A and B are shown apart, each in its own frame.
Chain A
Amino acid sequence: MSEIRTEMPAEIKGGVHKPQRHDSGHKHVTGQAEYIDDIVEAAGTLHAYLGLSERANAEIVSVDLRAVRQSPGVVDVLTATDVTGHNDVSSTGLNDEPVFAEDKVEFLGQPVFAVIAETRDQARRAAAQAKIEYRDLPFIVDVAEAEAAGNPLVTEPLTLKRGDAKAALAKSVNRISASMRVGGQDHFYLEGQIAYAMPGEDDEVIVFSSTQHPSEVQHMVGHVLGVPSNAVTVNVRRMGGGFGGKETQANLFAAVAALAAKKHGRAVKIRPDRDDDMTATGKRHDFLISYDIGFDDDGRIEAVDASFAARCGFSADLSGPVTDRALFHADNCYYFPDVHLVSKPLKTNTVSNTAYRGFGGPQGMIAGERMIEEIAYALGKDPLDVRKANLYGDNGRDVTPYHQQVEDNIAGRIIAELEERSDYAERREAVLAFNRKGGIVRKGIALTPVKFGISFTATWYNQAGALVHIYNDGSIHLNHGGTEMGQGLNTKVAQVLADEFQVDLDRVKITATSTGKVPNTSATAASSGSDLNGMAAANAAGQIKSRLVAFAAEHYGVPAEQVVFEPNAVRVGNQSIVFDEFIKQAYMGRVQLSAAGFYKTPKIHWDRATGKGRPFYYFAYGASVSEVSVDTLTGEYQVDRVDILHDVGKSLNPALDLGQIEGGFIQGMGWLTTEELWWDKDGRLRTHAPSTYKIPLASDVPPVFNVELADWSANRENTIRRSKAVGEPPFMLANSVVEALSMAVASLDGYRTCPRLDTPATPECVLFAAERMRAGAAERG
């Protein structure tokens, strides 16, 4: 019997645009959320531990593993000769990244072997017993030295150009050329790399991997084992943080665990210690950016010629697209009339650098902001005025260096609103007045905008799948190709699905990402998770809904348009049937209640050879104002206040989006301030643990931290519910911190000189900048 309802239905619980809590929040706080190291181990589980090289660049003369094999609990030691397929985990297919080094090592920390033992502690202690003889070769870890030495490139460089930058520079009234060093960054995901492999029948293996890219792990495990992808299943319930550090970096760990599991027919887990994780896995690229800019007396840019040299490490990994994205974001919100930008992805004897939130974009953008700052100091202007003068506009000033027209520009409105909300003008006057007193403590304030291009620049990556089942009790099973690393992707996609079917969110069960459910997925990266997977889930829902509508129309004899999904019910003609009951009817009517959804981003195309196209579907915007205090005796500083206005289109979930903005800003602030990667003279990374590598703490968060969404914004493109991507763009809001620090020290020389702060702007870096300013002032008298 159908239940007939006549009252107006209420709204569903947990639909789109609602500040819904993270679906795992209650499990996070109770410790019940399961990470890979928490999974109940199969009986007989073995543990793997990597043996790492002790040299930055050397030929391997001999490897003596006898003591390792004789250590307590050791079952086996794997080297390159144990690899049954290809000894390679290069995500590019360039075959430049061995699982285990064979004849040579190219950075200090490169895996040479893996110990397999009964316990992790035994494996780890045994790994330290290896005796490897090396013949040392010269090495370079530093990007500037690598550029000066003419080191080889790990991948093809990119050039973006328009007009004739050199000729325009020669004609410019004002011209500045200088350089900026931009440091790298360790991801410092709280859960380190980990994989747990279970051998199966024939060539099969199941791998639990902490990865943002299960399909690539699947592919790499197959590649290393020498088995087809259909033999490998990769599962990811959640990661304890990723930030790009688990896009390709999980491959090696998964491959080693799978190799050992297949060889021994036992489950094998691998989890490096934090120090080894930070030593042996890739990071954000450091850059040396050299720029030559020409501008008129109003501060309008006429030409930019810049090169972006990057420390890529020993192999290509993702350095190609990362350095590409640096070029794509050097313009930020500004029009460069004549422009020539070139990348230099340099080989260095360091761990191969990789994806990290922003993917080169932050490094490009901070260089662009430096150029603005240079102009402002040269002309004695408020940098904000220089920014406004250079914003993309119309009349031909709306085309990027990669020849994409900026169609959705809201930078001007965001800046204007933030300027007003944050009382920027008054506060800048107050800062100037404060500094006029001439004390030890100086203040600075800066407003910087963000424009970030959304889409993978590898166009084929912009596709996604989802698998949706409705069981005959009316409960819904959701699976999609994205991975949950804390960003709340699962919550957002479930909200989309709840909204599609008009059911309460708790009816939707989110299940672990698995290569067996949705194949050929892209990395959960490039901020694309909800855009792609939300659309794929909506597509799956749409397929099921159209079948349900057709069924109801026929079953009840009503026109299709009279079948409407209402909150937790379906209205058919003038009767409302509760969802469970309706689904049961559909099942009895033999309707297929399962669908595989698919989505590919429209409109985008990119021709790398010519440097032209529309690589980005749309742009996400934002702006921030930071105010800082600097102690000019020690270089110590504090971020006193931050105001942010950020564009997420029509937010799928304002609470989660705010979390991404706050978190992204603080992570960006860490990158630009206290997070320093430091190699010693032997090429050993010495900041390889939280004792030496300092990410922000609660007490580094600005005491006044106002974050708001641009609630009027809606994506002009047809994205999922008109939302915009949010993972990466807020990271670059932290650029204003560096520029505020810069202003504080510039006050020591009457704001006449751009302090040219490199990043990270550690207290040391800031103090030396202050010293330069003092020296400049003294010279001038």
Chain B
Amino acid sequence: MAKPRNEIRFLLNDEPVSVRSAGASDTLLDYLRLERRLRGTKEGCAEGDCGACTVLVGRLLGGELVYETVNACIRFVGSLDGCHVVTVEHLRGTDGALHPVQQAMVDHHGSQCGFCTPGFVMSLYGLWMGNPSPDDHAVEKALQGNLCRCTGYAPIVRAARAAGKIGLPGDDPLVREREAVTAKLKELADGNRVECGPDENRIIVPASADDLAAVLEEHPQATIVAGSTDVGLWVTKFMREISPAVFIGHLAELQEISVGDGTIAIGAGVTYTQAFDTISKHIPQLSGFWERIGGEQVRNMGTIGGNVANGSPIGDTPPPLIALGATVTLRRGGKRRTLPLEKFFIAYGKQDRETGDFVERIDVPLPGAGDRFAAYKISKRRDEDISSVCVAIRVRLSDDGTVSEAAICFGGMAATPKRAGNAEKALVGKALDDQSIADAVTALESDFQPISDMRASAEYRMLTAKNLLRRFVMEQNGAAGATIRRGAAA
């Protein structure tokens, strides 16, 4: 194999840059603000929740150049090899004119204190490029990861809807220069492994999945970084050392998502955004749920593989994946093993992932004939919040209407994502009627002893868990109007 390259190379606005001195824990935000003095991008929270640091990152996905909004505060420089970073400074035309989204923001009084504004402008830019005449739902979704404390958002939403009337993406430099940038990024992707940074803060960017396997055999204690929506906080909030950090977000083999044999195969590097269309099409019950994972920037960065691998008890995807009977495939060197996802979570902070293993793939069986499936997420704030309780319920009904199989998996109720074994038992062999549900609801008390914390009390978690079982049955039995729909005012 070729000698590893010892610099991270990417495009920053219209300039190619090579960063040799970058360390594993260096964030894109610090690089922009401290190294490059590009100070339009702001730090509001340093944890990927407020969006003040939003920039666009263009990357080749299946050979196609896609631009996505990301949080620069938790995006590592080591993850940018072969990417195009676009900051707010790039938007203004060479003649000094405001960009249509900027002009719309000014026209509609979309800024007050102005500190969140560059982040909003970048999120609106990302939206406008793909959808210059968005409806309110599209705007709200695009802005889920941006906090504004002054305006109350109304003028920003008005600006979002007006930007397309001021100018269309056809004239935008990123659209006009798409081919040239694609060519430049292809050129940067030289197929080499990258290793750089000081020994105590080492970046390793493997050349391929096989190379990743080799790297991990060599550095079994390495920190694997995919979307960095969790590892980013290890650095920015807990000041943890992550060296050597192995960045895998770019690996094409891990970015594949495919459907076949009644199963969706999801590569560990597939982001929530990338998976959305496939998930929505084949498991429509997860469509609305999926839109409530993180905010737009987090969905653009975060991966399903990472959500599984980090073992959090409050990750959004494990409950539905487990309820659907998903398996996870781990790889070490050339060896692979596949296990049911629910077996992967052993205890709080402990997964069945041995040193040197990496999550390669998750296979999700589609709901079959007779399967009834739903997933619910309860949180203090509807969007961009961590669930206090999350549940996915799948029951298979026999022809006689009795439950032949039940899989009920909760998040937020135990130290791991966990199935409600007793509640499941209470349903199997029974019809979905008041009695069986009452029994299942009672059984939840023997399944879980949830905790009280800042998201919810134990009592609320338990009561809501029970009520979500009740809701599931109501919905399956055709009760209408049991949930709130946004925008459905009387």
- List residues of A whose CB falls within 8 A of some B CB: 21-22, 24-35, 37-38, 40, 121, 124-125, 128, 187-192, 238-243, 273-275, 427, 430-431, 434, 439-441, 443, 485-488, 627, 629-631, 633-638, 640-641, 655-656, 658-659, 662-667, 674, 676, 678, 680, 686-687, 689-692, 694-701, 703-705, 707, 762-764, 767-768, 771
Q: A659 to B155, Cβ gap below 8 A? A: yes
Q: Would you call A764 and B111 a contact (CB within 8 A)?
A: no
B106-131 interface with A by 8 A CB criterion? 106-107, 109-118, 121
Complex CA–CA separation, A697 to B156 (angstroms)? 11
User: Smallest CB-CB separation from B386: which chain A residue?
Assistant: A691
Contact A656 B50 (CB under 8 A): no
Q: Which of B380-406 contact A (CB under 8 A)?
A: 380-386, 388
A241 touches B150 (CB 8 A): yes
Taking a contact as CB atoms under 8 Å apart, the answer to whether A190 and B463 are in contact is no
With A31-B88, A31-B89, A655-B109: A486-B47 Cβ-Cβ less than 8 Å:
no
Asked whether, in the complex, the Cβ of A190 is within 8 Å of the Cβ of B113, the reply is: yes
A686–B214 alpha-carbon span in the complex (Å): 41
* Bound form: Cα–Cα A239–B150 in Å: 12
Among B14-22, B357-365, B479-487, the one that faces the other chain is B479-487
Q: B130-143 vs A: 1/0 string, CB under 8 Å? A: 00000010011101
Given contacts A485-B113, A698-B153, contact A29 B484 (CB under 8 A): no
Q: Across the interface, which residues of B come within 8 angstroms of A434, CB to CB?
A: 490
A699-B47 Cα distance, complex, nearest whole Å: 21
Contact in complex: A240, B115 (CB < 8 Å) = yes
Q: Does B154 contact A (CB under 8 A)?
A: yes
Q: Say yes or no: A30 contacts B152, CB within 8 Å.
A: no
B147 & A638 in contact (Cβ 8 Å cutoff):
no
A27–B46 touching, CB < 8 Å: no
Q: Is the CB of B383 within 8 A of A627?
A: no
User: How close is A231's CB to chain B, nearest CB, in angstroms?
Assistant: 30
- Rounded to whole Å, the gap between the CB of A473 and the closest CB of chain B is 24
**Chain B contacts for A487, CB-based, 8 A:** 112
Interface residues of B in 437-490 (CB under 8 A from A): 453-457, 459-460, 463-464, 467-468, 470-471, 474, 479, 481-484, 486-490
Contacting residue for A662 out of B144, B155, B454, CB 8 A: B155
Can you name the residue of chain A whose Cβ is closest to the Cβ of B295? A697
Known pairs A33-B117, A37-B42; list 9 more (Cβ under 8 Å): A26-B98, A29-B105, A440-B483, A441-B481, A631-B482, A635-B460, A663-B150, A690-B49, A698-B153
The answer to whether B489 and A633 touch across the interface, beta carbons within 8 angstroms, is no
The chain B residues found within 8 Å of chain A, CB to CB, are 30, 33, 37, 39-47, 49-50, 52, 87-89, 91-92, 98, 101-102, 105-107, 109-118, 121, 136, 139-141, 143-144, 146-157, 236-237, 239, 378, 380-386, 388, 453-457, 459-460, 463-464, 467-468, 470-471, 474, 479, 481-484, 486-490
Nearest chain A CB to B46's CB is how many angstroms away? 6
28 A-B pairs whose Cβ atoms sit less than 8 Å apart in the complex: A22-B114, A24-B114, A26-B102, A28-B117, A28-B118, A29-B101, A29-B118, A30-B92, A31-B40, A31-B87, A31-B117, A32-B40, A38-B39, A241-B113, A241-B150, A274-B46, A440-B481, A443-B490, A488-B112, A631-B482, A631-B483, A633-B464, A667-B149, A697-B147, A697-B383, A698-B146, A701-B152, A764-B460
Within 8 Å by CB of B113, from A121, A275, A486, A687, lies A486
Residues in B whose Cβ lies below 8 Å from that of A430:
490
The smallest C-beta distance from B160 to any residue of chain A, in angstroms, reads 9
> B147 to A676, Cβ gap below 8 A?
no
* Complex contact B102–A666 (CB within 8 A): no
Q: 3 closest pairs, A vs B, by CB?
A: A31-B40, A486-B113, A240-B115
Scoring B98, B113, B155 by chain A CB atoms within 10 A of each residue's CB, the highest score goes to B113
Provide the residues of chain A in CB contact with B98, threshold 8 Å.
Answer: 26, 29-30
- If A31-B39, A190-B116, A441-B481 touch, whether A22 touches B157 (CB-CB below 8 Å) is no
Q: Which residues of B contact A764 (CB under 8 A)?
A: 380, 388, 456-457, 460
A37-B39, A190-B52, A634-B464 known; A665 vs B147 contact (CB < 8 Å): no
If the complex has contacts A22-B109, A665-B152, A666-B153, are A29 and B102 also in contact, measured as CB distance less than 8 A?
Answer: yes
Contacts of B156 in A (CB 8 A): 698
User: Do residues A638 and B486 form an inter-chain contact, with CB atoms below 8 A?
Assistant: yes
| Inter-chain contacts of B105 with A (CB < 8 A) | 25, 28-29
CB distance from B449 to the nearest CB of A (A): 18
Give every chain A residue within 8 A of B40 (Cβ-Cβ): 30-32
In-complex Cβ contact of B111 among A25, A189, A680 (8 A): A25
Residue pair A191, B154 in contact (C-beta under 8 Å): no
**A121–B110 CA distance with the chains assembled, in angstroms:** 33
Most buried by B among A274, A629, A703: A274
B489 close to A640 (CB less than 8 A): yes
Residue in B89, B116, B484 whose Cβ sees the most chain A Cβ within 10 Å: B484
Given A241-B149, A764-B456: A701 and B111 interface contact (C-beta under 8 Å) = no
Instruction: Identify the closest chain B residue to A630 (Cβ).
Output: B484
Residue in B107, B115, B155, B468 whose beta carbon sits within 8 Å of that of A35 in the complex: B115
Bound CA–CA A314/B401 (angstroms): 63
Do B486 and A703 have beta carbons less than 8 Å apart? yes
Q: List the A side residues contacting B39 at CB < 8 Å.
A: 31, 34, 37-38
Q: Tell me, in angstroms, the Cα distance from A26 to B482 when the chains sit together.
A: 46
Q: In the complex the two chains form, is B380's CB within 8 Å of A690's CB? A: no
Cα of A676 to Cα of B151 in the assembled complex, Å: 21
With A128-B239, A636-B382 already in contact, the answer to whether A440 and B47 are too (CB < 8 A) is no
In the bound complex, CA of A125 to CA of B381 (Å): 32
Q: B471: which of A33, A35, A633, A664 is its contact (CB, 8 Å)?
A: A633
How many angstroms from the CA of A636 to the CA of B115 in the assembled complex?
31
Separation in Å of the A131 CB from the closest CB of chain B?
A: 17
CB-contact partner of B239 in A30, A125, A427, A636, under 8 A: A125
Q: In the complex the two chains form, is B109's CB within 8 Å of A634's CB?
A: no
**Chain B contacts of A771 at CB under 8 A?**
463
Evaluate contact between A695 and B490: CB separation under 8 angstroms.
no
Q: Which residues of A contact B150 (CB under 8 A)?
A: 241, 486, 659, 663
The answer to whether A439 and B116 touch across the interface, beta carbons within 8 angstroms, is: no
Task: Report yes or no: A662 in contact with B154, Cβ–Cβ below 8 A.
Answer: yes
A30, A37, A485, A703: the one within 8 Å of B88 (CB): A30
A128 proximity list for chain B (CB < 8 A): 239
* Residues of B close to A242: CB separation below 8 A: 113
Query: Which residues of A are found within 8 Å of B482, using beta-carbon distances?
Result: 439-441, 631, 633
Residue of B nearest to A702 (CB): B489
Q: How distant is A759 from chain B, measured CB to nearest CB, in Å?
A: 13
CB-CB under 8 A for A273 and B109, given A31-B41, A427-B490, A441-B484: no
Distance in angstroms between the alpha carbons of A443 and B490 in the assembled complex: 9
Please, which residues of chain B bring their CB within 8 A of the CB of A762? 380
A778 vs chain B, min Cβ distance (A) = 16
B144 touches which of A26, A486, A691, A698 (Cβ 8 Å): A698
Cβ–Cβ < 8 Å partners of A698 in chain B: 139-140, 143-144, 146, 148, 153, 156-157
**CA separation between A33 and B383, bound complex, in Å?**
29
A771 vs B486: C-alpha distance when bound (angstroms): 24
- For A189, give the chain B residue with the smallest CB separation: B149
Q: How far is the CB of B437 from chain A (nearest CB, A)?
A: 13
A274 to B152, CA, bound (A): 21
Please tell me if the beta carbons of B147 and A627 are within 8 angstroms of each other in the complex: no
Q: Which residues of A contact B110 (CB under 8 A)?
A: 29
- Known A-B contacts A29-B106, A694-B381; the reply to A701 vs B114 at CB < 8 A is no
The answer to whether A35 and B42 have CB atoms under 8 Å apart is yes
Q: Which of A38, A439, A691 has the most CB of B within 10 A?
A: A691
Residues of B within 8 A of A680 (CB): 453-454
Q: Contact: A763 with B47, CB < 8 Å?
A: no
Residue of A nearest to B237 (CB): A275
Most buried by B among A665, A666, A697, A763: A697
Q: Does the CB pair B118–A31 fall under 8 Å?
A: yes
A487 to B111, CA, bound (A): 10
CA–CA, A411 to B486, complex, Å? Answer: 32
Pairwise interchain contact A634-B113, C-beta atoms closer than 8 A: no
Q: How far is the CB of A197 from chain B (nearest CB, A)?
A: 19
